[in-house]
Structure 1
Amino acid sequence: MAGIHLEARGRTAGLTFQVLGELKVFGDQGVVPITAGRQQVVLAALLLESGRLQNWDHLIRLMWAEDPPETARTQVQICVSRMRRTLAAADVEAVIETRPAGYVLKIDDARLDLSVFRRGVAEAAVLGSAGRTAEAAALLRETVGLWQGPCLNGIPSEALALVAQHIDEERLVATESFIELELALGYHHQLTAEIARLVGENPLRERFRGQLMLALHRSGRQAEALESYRQGRALLMDELALQPGEDLRRLEQAILVEDESLRLERPSGTELHTVGTEPELSAKDARAAARTVVPRQLPVDTSDFVGHQHLVSETEGVLTNTSPDRATGIVVVTGRSGIGKTTFAARVAHRLAEPHFPDGQLYCQLRGARVDPVDPREVLGRFLRALGLPGPAIPDSLEERGEIYRSMLAARRILVVLDDAVGEEQIFPLLPGGRSCGVLVTSRARLTALPGSHRVALDILDERDALELIGNVVGADRVSREPEAARALTAAVGGLPLALRIVAARLAARPHWPLASMVQRLADERHRLDELTHGEMTVRASLSVTYDGLPDTSRTLLRRLSLTKGSTFPSWIGGALLDVPGDYPYPSDLMEPLVDVQMLDVAGVDATGELRYGFHDIIRLFARDRLAAESDESERRSAIRRVGGAWLALIGEAQQRVFGAHFMTGPAARWNPPAEHVRTILARPAEWLDIERENLSLTVESLAQEDEDGYAWELAVSLAPFYEARGYLDHWARTHRKALTAVRHSGNRLGQAALLASLGSMHLNRRNLPEARTALTAALGLFEDLGHTSGLGLCRRDLGILEQLAGHDTAAMGLLEQAERDFGDGSPWARASVLVQRAVILLRRGDVRLVEAELDEALQIWRDLGYLGGQARVLRRAGQLHLYCGRLDDARRELSEGLTMVRDDGDVIGEGYILHDLGRVHVRRGEFIEAGSYFARALSVREDFLDQAGAASVRVDLADLILRGGDTAKAGGLLTETLEVFGRLGMAEEAERAASLLARVTAHVTDERR
């Protein structure tokens, strides 16, 4: 049974679906990937209303707020189909039922965190009503702990995000409720900091403010309670021009007169324990400490700080840990340039300063990203002076300064903030020795060798926080007037806080500018960095500080990585860009210096075990900017060609492993990644190609745009067999058309011929016979001019398939025989493909003996080559032969074996064909229920890959099956639909069969009317 056990949260054991936070599904093996945006929207909608019907119109509105495409309903069906397969593969217990009006999700409520949360709130209400206050409070706090962030955080649907905001309100109400109960239990001392945080996060929420005032009052902090009221009143007047509500005003008056009703009737007995005092200082140190001042060196805390609230709480928890066995609390805040590390540290430090570190706060900017970081000896001198030690008393050596520094801090509660550290060696001398101090470090490096430290990694702001930041600077009313433009601004800078502040500051300085005007300025990537500057704030300068501190090799690699187009890329690509010898053992070592300073992100480890990396968009633009400024055309072109050559080398190896053969190649030079590395990533070549599909397609397009047409056409054509097997026909079309434009522009006739031939094969897969004929005929003419015999063989083979599909068997056989002569003995793979196609025609003629001979020879060739897909293709045709001869058990056996092979090989298109044939076998056996099941699965595969012809062919057999059951109306509807498809695609033979069956339907209806 699928599910996940979350330790230390008894009520959440067994949860499968999470909506209280990011949308997640948990299976036995961990998180089940639901990464496609539309699938997330559909699943979220079904989960929020589990057990209730979600109609088509509602789901379409959630996916497309305005102007849904004509295929919207089909796309929803595809999303649900894929989601069903994903959930089933992960053994997740969930049933998505199809209804005429839409879908219903059936799950156990105990598997959905939202249902568990609501049940917990209801149970707590019952306990509270029964006077069991402590149990109710504990249950409510535990239940609120289910939340992992804002409901459906990051869901790509504005409508769902609005629903999620209402659910977030339930969390706040529940939080208010358990605080109310805990205050009644006398936990005011323990609650003060927590309620203060909640007030900071929800400043206009009067119930939290009232609870804070009550907690402060009961803790003997009447002045602070009244100050909190004053701040809340001022905020309400400024923001809403309103006075506080009656309850809050009454509470203020009660605190002013120290109303007895505010006191608890009994002592709580549950006060917080405090840390024991430290050992006494020596007399000398005590005298020195007596002469110290209280340093207040923190930088300003910006009022427009947003986001990272959970990390603020996490950091505060480490720094304020009061357990007796704690050491000095050390938190290292890491993140890339412009991510807001200093702002984050300032916010935390100011929040903790008075209540937890009243003896002072030390701060130093260590300039770690610059070429001249501050020496720790100098920092210690500054800190000792700030602590009151006279200049002449400060010793010269680092060691002596460190001894005095640690002695002066030993018994004091001081927070040390070390901003922009270069490395551990800069930090070690600055660490205090006493347990009562805290240390907050920021760095672009991760500082993993700093013992006992807790790391907090800052990331980009999500859209909600980014919009709040812009609104804080330019005014919320401007954001509300142009919501789409505001969202476009956050997307243009990728949520990078520094860039957002610059954009907002420029807009604030020009209140007459529409937000859309800044969107337009940022739209041109070539000038985006120029726009991200305001006063002394500039993204380019911030990133340049890190860039200038890198070694030469890392700077070169960063520049050249900007030539890549994919969202992530593999580690070996660094070696190709730098032209590192192929025997370089660890390509990732080239990338890691850039990761260390967070100019490059680690995207994860893919299914082949390959480390993957990626850029933030702004850093990619910066790298591209540096490439244009510091690299010449020759360097750039050489790097592009090496990357293209590396992909060609890997694809060639993948072809050999999957197909047992290489296909058409040209003169483009190869660049070979390390052999051991190649063996690892190509252990499962089909899976590797799925992972790299985006990169490969984008590389073809990039090579074409850069006029590297020789590399572009070879890479595109070499990918075609994989696109065919996996059903990626859109990728096939897009890459080939881009490459075809390039080879036509350069006059590369071999490239044109190869691409046209491959496009013809693609049109054949789509059963678009007119388009296929045009492309193949053009390719044939070019190959004839070039005297390219294997190219001629490929064209004639595919033209033979075309004629066979059109019902012209004699012409088809002639072309296939010509193709066999063209291939000769030099291409056994191609010869096997011709043999299989000839067998199809011979079977229609009824020549069983020759069919068996052709298939036996083809099977032997593909077994020798180790090509599973080819063997499965032969087994499919053998199954059709057995079906023709009435050998139904043999047909089922051959087809079942073929089905196993195509699944092992990842050939989704082949799977659809064989499922269809197995359905036909079951029809002949009179097993109509089983036949319908196979047809339905075949149709699902065809529809998922938008295979119109294949889907239409399955519908003909489904119509035949339905007609046997007597539903003439439904059968007639299916057949009418398929006739239109066959006619448009020029599939005369299939159209004839559908028309014949439709005539039977018509005759049956006529008979019934008589």
Structure 2
Amino acid sequence: MAGVRLESRERAVGFTFQVLGELKVFGGRGTVPVTAGRQQVILAALLLESGRLQNRDHLIRLLWAEDPPETARTQVQICVSRMRKTLTAAGVEATIETRPPGYVLQIDDAALDLNVFRRTVGEAAVLGGEGRTAEAAALLRAAVGLWCGPCLNGIPSDELARIAEHIDEERLAATESFIELELALGRHHQLTAEIARLVGENPLRERFRGQLMLALYRSGRQAEALESFRQGRTLLMDELGLQPGEDLRRLEQAVLTEDPSLRLVPTAGTHLRGTEPVPDASATDPGPDAATDEDVRTPARAAVPRQLPVDTADFVGHQQLVAEVEGVLTDTSRVRAPGIVVVTGRSGIGKSTFAARVAHRLAESHFPDGQLYCQLRGGRADPVDPREILGRFLRALGLPGPAIPDSLEERGEIYRSLLATRRILVVLDDAVGEEQIFPLLPGGHSCGVLVTTRARLTALPGAHRVTLDILDEQGSLELIGNVVGADRVGGEPEAARALAAAVGGLPLALRIIAARLAARPHWPLASMVQRLADERRRLDELTHGEMTVRASLALTYDGLAERDRTLLRLLSLTKGSTFPSWIGGALLDVPDAYPYPSDLMESLVDVQMLDVAGVDATGELRYGFHDIIRLFARDRLAVESDETERRAATRRVGGAWLALVGEAQRRILGTRYIDGPAVRWNPPADHVGTVLGRPLEWLDTELENLSLTVESLAQGGEDGYAWELAVNLAPFYEARGYLDHWARTHRKALTAVRRSGNLLGQAALLASLGSLHLNRRNLPEARRSLTTAVGLFEELGHTKGLGLCRRDLGLLERLAGHDTAAMDLFERAERDFGDDDPWARASVLVQRAVILLRRGDVSRVEAELDEALEIWRDLGYLGGQARVLQRAGQMHLYRGQPADARKALVEGLSMVRDDGDVIGEGYILHDLGRVHVRLGELTEAASYFARSLSVREDILDQAGAASVRVDLADLSLLGDDTAKAGGLLTDALEVFGRLGMAEEEGRAAGLLARMTGDGAAEGR
């Protein structure tokens, strides 16, 4: 590969792509011409994010900003195609992959000079921390020598030029660092001229000026050092009206008084420093809440996540590595990126335990704003998607579910923004590779990241890597003594040493063997040594010399009671990273054979075959497998359990989840969704009451298990269980804004029921998907799903299903402005429901009341709302009651009774807040604003409208936000602020037109016409 080597740009070795200066490409026959401006921009953008997806729309923005031509996408495709041909013809080892919705440039890490620069700076930081100052300084000089000018010099893109300016800062920081190191080495005489040049080029950069003052002073030029300070102070006052910073002023005083601290004193180690971070100019103070109504308050939304797993009390060894990792994570000299530590090692070596110990030690002292944790399942066939993890992290950081965008890129942007100024530790446990980690990295320097992985990750920029090795003899004996008792180890020292040697110092194996001995205090340690010597079975993937983890696990497994062995095997059918205690009873089909559900699990915990993962938000004990033991259990399942046993256990677990979800539905909604023939398995009633005491929190806790269970059932041929569980989860997914889970589970289940020809499952899933599309305001897809479902329900003669579909089709027609068609569908739905489903009838009554109020039939509206409220009060459905109170408020306002309207709305607002319903809160705040307009209290009205707009923008409710803007425009006109009103109305009209909301569009257009006196505008 042609390029430039680290120590000299004239000698061809090393990288292929240059961005540290003008953009250049070096091929086998010299420089490859990339002269077209658009090709330069696209290549530069791909290089700066090599290995990561670049969205085509982002490339278009880089090329044409806000005014792209109609052929922009085609022109980008042409540029990429030509670039591929150019690079291939020149023999350049690079691949531009098309990966919707954009492109990915795949190159070797060392092919880009920026990567080489950053890697070299990182290596220098390590050397500096080890006290190898001269080597660190030399590396930094070489790294800075890679630069041929400003980054991407002359690139024809304003946005790329701004990004390049930030990269230029890295060059200056590295320069400052090697000057600091060389000053520490006593090279002040040689450095003086070089630093003076840098001060001339960067006259406002105080660190360079301070270094110049120090070099001059140490060279015996005290007067010139003071003159340099005076020149800098004058320049700062003239240019910025500021005094020099405290550090520079302190240095001037030290030079004046010839402070002994300025003398050169050799040190054991020199740590690299960087510049202070530049404050984000876009950050603004949101100011205090402007609301004045004492009866309605906006709740706090801040969240401090505490997600760390339990710290292990018997942790031993690795003390030097613990100190090393803590030093990296707490290094305050970082100014641009978080401290990242990657902990690697073989399975069973204790990576997760090590990470938990470090994280707990640093949690309060260095990361007080919270700790985020995720098990990434890197050792399994289905590692967690980083997009899903970002969704969990954003919820933990206080973002409501409906406000979380769909795309990985947008979630990442919000995540990095939330963490930008907070001191949070992110623990990513068992990562599969860099592609899983990159989206989860914070952007700011105040955070820390601790990664555990089996893989040797080398592409994480700036990461510090440590490898956990086996415990030595002393550590092994200490671990055994912690579990079985130091007196037993002291009584049989030879046997204890033989035991440690037999398991190869592997912590997992040591814990398992020691647990067996602790459970049998009458056994001599020598007996266990003899057992280990006889066992040679091993796990195919996980070995350690002659001692294998499989042999150790088999020893423990063979010593279990038959019931416990069966439970261990069947637990491997579970898919989540943790599981609740009741699941053991379902797997073994013993709902009433024990006083506490956790008793079944504890016998496995005692011998370290299961881990206690903690207590969840509902007070339920949770358990989990170590990955090695999960593999072992699956291995035993395949050998010892037949298909009949496996399928029966799977169905019981599916039936148990169905029973719990159904009970949760009954407690929250007061009703059930469509049921099928799947057989329920009921956990003990007392236990169900405890677990489901807070059903929504229970759903949040079990979200992963529930969704993975649907997918597993669908893939395993249990389509009847899969579709029932999926559709019964839909109301929870909707309430919490888990739209991704809603879509994924339903797609998997729909594939399964279509494969088996299950018509009821198809109809129910399509009806539920129609509701999902309505939530996303995708009316065409909603119509297709619901219409197909109607046909299937008609074929089956399923009246409740027909009623649900027709109700949702009525809502669709109402949203589209077709009131007559909507009323017909609502009436048909009401007939379908009859008297057997009061909950469903109430939902139709509320929807129909909206249209009746628009028609002015107030007496009928009142009657329908009263009936719906009575139904939902009887059923205990808080969300439905709040919905009725909101409509009642609208009715009172229509009647000219604003005081009654306000009373109903304030009561409804209290309910939605108690229920955690952010969507309902936005609607009611909007209506309260309208009430205060009618009361003539315009300041209060503006406050409510502003708060409603904020809520709706937070949850990405475009239509609702546009509706609020129309009311704000009306309010602005009352104050003669036509400019503000015009802007608000223009924004609203764009949204209404795009979403096809004819009625709202007509209202906004009419207001704009009255404002401008333009009759044509009203007709639009």
TM-score normalised by structure 1 residue count: 0.50
Match for 1:561: what amino acid? L
Deviations 1:105-160 (A, max 9, x none): xxxxxxxxxxxxxxxxxxxxxxxxxxxxxxxxxxxxxxxxxxxxxxxxxxxxxx9x
Deviations 1:268-326 (A, max 9, x none): xxxxxxxxxxxxxxxxxxxxxxxxxxxxxxxxxx999963449999xxxxxxxxxxxxx
The question of whether the paired residues in 2 share the 8 Å contact of 1:529 and 1:622 is answered with yes
Aligned to 1:595: 605
The question of whether the paired residues in 1 share the 8 Å contact of 2:512 and 2:552 is answered with no
Return closer, same or farther for 1:876/1:362 CA change in 2, 3 Å cut-off. closer
CA distance in structure 1 between the aligned counterparts of 2:877 and 2:479, rounded to whole angstroms: 65
Match for 1:809: what amino acid? D
CA distance in structure 2 between the aligned counterparts of 1:990 and 1:961, rounded to whole angstroms: 17
CA distance in structure 2 between the aligned counterparts of 1:336 and 1:592, rounded to whole angstroms: 24
**Aligned-residue offset at 1:691:** 1.9
Matches within 5 A, 1:361-510: 380=492, 382=494, 420=514, 422-424=516-518
Matches within 5 A, 1:307-706: 307-309=321-323, 337-339=348-350, 349=474, 380=492, 382=494, 420=514, 422-424=516-518, 530-533=540-543, 535-536=545-546, 538-582=548-592, 584-706=594-716
Between 699-708 and 614-623, the greater mean CA deviation after superposition? 614-623
Q: How many residues align?
A: 573
Among 950, 969, 986, which residue is 2:996 paired with?
A: 986
Between 717-726 and 705-714, the greater mean CA deviation after superposition? 717-726
Aligned to 1:801: 811
CA distance in structure 1 between the aligned counterparts of 2:478 and 2:863, rounded to whole angstroms: 85
Match for 1:878: what amino acid? A
CA distance in structure 2 between the aligned counterparts of 1:565 and 1:69, rounded to whole angstroms: 33
CA distance in structure 1 between the aligned counterparts of 2:985 and 2:592, rounded to whole angstroms: 58
Aligned to 1:136: none
Match for 1:658: what amino acid? I
The question of whether the paired residues in 2 share the 8 Å contact of 1:367 and 1:374 is answered with yes
Match for 1:774: what amino acid? R
CA distance in structure 2 between the aligned counterparts of 1:708 and 1:364, rounded to whole angstroms: 45
The question of whether the paired residues in 2 share the 8 Å contact of 1:697 and 1:735 is answered with yes
SS of the residue corresponding to residue 603 of structure 1 reads: strand
Deviations 1:581-632 (A, max 9, x none): 2463211111122323333222221222111222334443343333333322
SS of the residue corresponding to residue 613 of structure 1 reads: strand
Deviations 1:871-899 (A, max 9, x none): 11111110010111221111111011111
Among 894, 914, 936, which residue is 1:884 paired with?
A: 894
Deviations 1:961-990 (A, max 9, x none): 455555655555554444444344433223
Match for 1:307: what amino acid? L
TM-score normalised by structure 2 residue count: 0.50
CA distance in structure 1 between the aligned counterparts of 2:493 and 2:868, rounded to whole angstroms: 83
Q: Does 1:934 align with 2:952?
A: no
CA distance in structure 2 between the aligned counterparts of 1:529 and 1:968, rounded to whole angstroms: 75
CA distance in structure 2 between the aligned counterparts of 1:675 and 1:1000, rounded to whole angstroms: 64
Match for 1:339: what amino acid? G
Aligned to 1:819: 829
CA distance in structure 2 between the aligned counterparts of 1:70 and 1:707, rounded to whole angstroms: 39
Return closer, same or farther for 1:802/1:310 CA change in 2, 3 Å cut-off. same
The question of whether the paired residues in 1 share the 8 Å contact of 2:477 and 2:496 is answered with no
Aligned to 1:871: 881
**Aligned-residue offset at 1:958:** 3.8
Return closer, same or farther for 1:996/1:881 CA change in 2, 3 Å cut-off. same
Return closer, same or farther for 1:364/1:815 CA change in 2, 3 Å cut-off. closer
Percent identical among aligned pairs is: 71
Return closer, same or farther for 1:576/1:383 CA change in 2, 3 Å cut-off. closer
Return closer, same or farther for 1:757/1:922 CA change in 2, 3 Å cut-off. same
Among 782, 790, 801, which residue is 1:780 paired with?
A: 790
CA distance in structure 2 between the aligned counterparts of 1:999 and 1:64, rounded to whole angstroms: 51
Q: Does 1:830 align with 2:876?
A: no
Return closer, same or farther for 1:555/1:384 CA change in 2, 3 Å cut-off. closer
Among 736, 742, 746, which residue is 1:736 paired with?
A: 746
CA distance in structure 2 between the aligned counterparts of 1:881 and 1:345, rounded to whole angstroms: 73
Return closer, same or farther for 1:312/1:966 CA change in 2, 3 Å cut-off. closer
CA distance in structure 1 between the aligned counterparts of 2:49 and 2:664, rounded to whole angstroms: 38
The question of whether the paired residues in 1 share the 8 Å contact of 2:349 and 2:470 is answered with no
The question of whether the paired residues in 2 share the 8 Å contact of 1:770 and 1:985 is answered with no
Match for 2:759: what amino acid? R
CA distance in structure 2 between the aligned counterparts of 1:617 and 1:973, rounded to whole angstroms: 57
CA distance in structure 1 between the aligned counterparts of 2:952 and 2:546, rounded to whole angstroms: 58
**Aligned-residue offset at 1:825:** 1.1
Deviations 1:766-793 (A, max 9, x none): 3322222111111111111111111111
SS of the residue corresponding to residue 772 of structure 1 reads: helix
CA distance in structure 1 between the aligned counterparts of 2:519 and 2:658, rounded to whole angstroms: 45
SS of the residue corresponding to residue 612 of structure 1 reads: strand
Match for 2:321: what amino acid? G
For the pair shown, the structure with the greater C-alpha radius of gyration is 1
The question of whether the paired residues in 1 share the 8 Å contact of 2:799 and 2:833 is answered with yes
CA distance in structure 2 between the aligned counterparts of 1:68 and 1:959, rounded to whole angstroms: 39
Deviations 1:552-576 (A, max 9, x none): 3333223222222223221111111
**Aligned-residue offset at 1:666:** 0.5
CA distance in structure 1 between the aligned counterparts of 2:644 and 2:1009, rounded to whole angstroms: 68
CA distance in structure 1 between the aligned counterparts of 2:718 and 2:655, rounded to whole angstroms: 11
The question of whether the paired residues in 2 share the 8 Å contact of 1:883 and 1:921 is answered with yes
**Aligned-residue offset at 1:741:** 1.4
Return closer, same or farther for 1:419/1:790 CA change in 2, 3 Å cut-off. closer
CA distance in structure 1 between the aligned counterparts of 2:812 and 2:709, rounded to whole angstroms: 31
Return closer, same or farther for 1:424/1:635 CA change in 2, 3 Å cut-off. closer
Aligned to 1:47: none
Q: Does 1:954 align with 2:968?
A: no
Match for 1:772: what amino acid? A
Q: Runs of 5+ in structure 2 lacking a partner?
A: 1-46, 59-166, 182-263, 269-315, 328-345, 355-467, 499-510, 530-537
CA distance in structure 1 between the aligned counterparts of 2:636 and 2:497, rounded to whole angstroms: 42
Among 826, 843, 849, which residue is 2:853 paired with?
A: 843
The question of whether the paired residues in 1 share the 8 Å contact of 2:564 and 2:603 is answered with yes
Q: Does 1:860 align with 2:870?
A: yes
Deviations 1:440-484 (A, max 9, x none): xx99xxxxxxxxxxxxxxxxxxxxxxxxxxxxxxxxxxxxxxxxx
The question of whether the paired residues in 2 share the 8 Å contact of 1:603 and 1:613 is answered with yes
CA distance in structure 2 between the aligned counterparts of 1:606 and 1:71, rounded to whole angstroms: 42
Q: Runs of 5+ in structure 1 lacking a partner?
A: 1-60, 73-158, 174-244, 250-301, 314-334, 351-360, 387-416, 432-441, 444-527
CA distance in structure 1 between the aligned counterparts of 2:970 and 2:54, rounded to whole angstroms: 34
**Aligned-residue offset at 1:421:** 6.2
CA distance in structure 1 between the aligned counterparts of 2:774 and 2:692, rounded to whole angstroms: 29
CA distance in structure 2 between the aligned counterparts of 1:649 and 1:363, rounded to whole angstroms: 47
SS of the residue corresponding to residue 564 of structure 1 reads: coil
Return closer, same or farther for 1:800/1:583 CA change in 2, 3 Å cut-off. farther
Task: Tell me how large the CA RMSD over aligned residues is.
Answer: 4.8
CA distance in structure 1 between the aligned counterparts of 2:524 and 2:326, rounded to whole angstroms: 23
The question of whether the paired residues in 2 share the 8 Å contact of 1:608 and 1:684 is answered with yes
Return closer, same or farther for 1:603/1:916 CA change in 2, 3 Å cut-off. farther
The question of whether the paired residues in 1 share the 8 Å contact of 2:664 and 2:692 is answered with yes
